[in-house]
């Protein structure tokens, strides 16, 4: 499960987006992966079966957001890094690492970035 929990705290942790991280990503595959990683256990994600939880942030309209977890610019590369290894960006975060590969994380990020209310 690749949850995108809202974090409290200051600073950006030196996070920079990877150039071109959104290139070659598959939105359709990302939608399936968000279900497969059980992201809906924590989040509501439009278009993803069984993703109706409200334990963590509602991801409706995610592509229009300015920040990831309220801390980092909402860019595909940074979002993919957050999905793949949230603790690397924010030690102690409540969002668990679910073992998403970099390719899976890129696809999930592509789907989320395409969500507009």
Domain residue ranges of the chain, discontinuous segments joined by + = 27-113
The model's pTM = 0.78
d(Cα 64, Cα 76) in Å, to the nearest integer?
Answer: 12
The least confident of 15-29, 62-76, 94-108 is 15-29
pLDDT of residue 54: 80
pLDDT of residue 23: 65
CATH 2.40.100.10 fits 27-113, yes or no: no
pLDDT tens-digit profile of 44-84?
Answer: 898 888 888 788 888 899 999 999 988 999 999 999 999 99
- The phi and psi torsions of 73 (rounded to 5 degrees) equal -55, 135
Q: How far is CA 103 from CA 7, 37, 80, 82, 86, in A?
A: 25, 14, 9, 13, 15
Does the pLDDT value for residue 111 go beyond 90? yes
pLDDT of residue 22: 53
């Amino acid at each position: 499960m690749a949850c995108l929990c809202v974090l409290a705290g200051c600073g950006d942790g030196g996070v920079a987006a990877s150039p071109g991280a959104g290139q070659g990503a598959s939105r359709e595959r990302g939608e399936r992966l968000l279900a497969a990683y059980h992201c809906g256990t924590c989040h509501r994600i439009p278009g993803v079966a069984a993703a109706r939880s409200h334990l963590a942030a509602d991801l409706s309209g995610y592509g229009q957001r300015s920040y990831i977890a309220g801390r980092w610019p909402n860019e595909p590369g940074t979002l993919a890094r957050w999905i793949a290894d949230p603790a690397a960006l924010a030690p102690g975060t409540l969002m668990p690492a679910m073992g998403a590969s970099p390719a899976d994380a890129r696809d999930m990020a592509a789907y989320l970035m395409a969500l507009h209310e």
